[in-house]
Amino acid sequence: MNFPTSPPPLADVQRVLCAFAHPDDIDFGAAGTVARWVDDGLEVAYLLVTRGDAGGFDDTPRDRMPAIREAEQRAAAAAVGVKQVEFLDGYGDGTLTPSLPLRRDLTAAIRRLRPDRILTNSPLRRWERIAGPSHPDHLAVGEAVTCAVYPDARNRFAFPELALEQGLEPWTVREIWYTGGPTPDHAVDITGTYERKLAALRAHVSQTAHLEDLDGLLRQRHRPAAMAAGLPDGHLAEAFSIISTA
């Protein structure tokens, strides 16, 4: 199962919500693109489902990890110019499923923030590489976000208490961008924002400080994506799958 061919992105987007499982998902997958959106004047908000309490590569006490990773994500957001960073409560790293409570929380966020576009983890697994993008939390968030976009957020009768008790009126998100999926076919040239992406990833100290050559690792990933998209030699790109959800 793959995504269909991406349509051209919407030209009139004003607000973007980036909804991901863990701190650093946005930055590995899309920080260069997010920086471009910020430069273009789009309002970008981050919503993290967990605080990444099962991540890290050292003996940092586990009970300290959520606060550490929340602070790292806020610093990473600042590196690309994103000011609004929110975290859901009650979801543990490594335990996510596309559950009704998660769909409800995502629906509430969508109705409150009213994004035209959502960027999220891919709900489709890459079978050729089981680690990284195909972490079960990523697949779960990609699926839950997709369910929240359709039908939940736009349907008054889904989670009716959101409208009745919190005044959160239905909202239709018109476009989803997925990162980490099997066949990304929409490339964004991040050559001009790459240094900010690198700074954002370096802000995730608990996740990247142990990597000897983060810069080289990233270039190895983003150069082929640029070449595949026909960009000039030496350019860097992030690639996505886009679906229209209007």
Binding site for Zn ion (CB under 5 A): 22, 25
| Least distance in angstroms from the C-beta of 93 to Zn ion | 8
Please name every residue paired with 188 in a beta bridge, in sequence order, or none if there are none: 238
Whichever of 69 and 202 has its CB closer to Zn ion, that residue is 69
Nearer to Zn ion, 25 or 152 (CB): 25
CB of 49 to Zn ion, least distance (A): 10
Nearer to Zn ion (CB atom), residue 22 or residue 186? 22
CB closer to Zn ion, 33 vs 189: 33
Q: Are 168 and 112 in contact (CB under 8 A)?
A: yes
**Strand-strand pairing, 15-20 and 43-48:** parallel
Q: Which is nearer to Zn ion, 158 or 203 (CB)?
A: 203
Q: What is the DSSP string of 1-69?
A: --PPPPPPPPS---EEEEEESSTTHHHHHHHHHHHHHHHTT-EEEEEES---TT--SS---GGGHHHHH
Q: Given the complex with Zn ion, which of 25 and 175 has the nearer CB atom?
A: 25
3-state SS class at 218: helix
CB 79 within 8 A of CB 196: yes
| Angle of the 136-149 helix axis to the 100-113 helix axis, nearest 10 | 60
Q: Whole-number minimum distance, CB 180 to Zn ion, in Å? A: 9
Buried/exposed 140-152: b ≥16 CB within 10 Å, e otherwise? bbbbbbbbbbeeb
> Residue 122 CB, nearest distance to Zn ion (Å)?
11
Q: Specify the residue, 153 or 239, whose C-beta has the smaller distance to Zn ion.
A: 239
List CB contacts of 94: < 8 A, sequence separation 6 or more: 54, 136, 137
- Please report how close the Cβ of residue 172 comes to Zn ion at its closest, in angstroms: 28
The distance of closest approach from Cβ of residue 120 to Zn ion in the complex, given in angstroms and rounded to an integer, is 12
Q: How far apart are CA 85 and CA 63, in angstroms?
A: 21
Question: Helix, strand or coil for residue 199?
Answer: helix
Q: Tell me which residue has its CB nearest to Zn ion.
A: 22
How far apart (Å, rounded) are the C-alpha atoms in residues 39 and 41?
5
Q: How far is the CB of 201 from Zn ion (least distance, A)?
A: 13
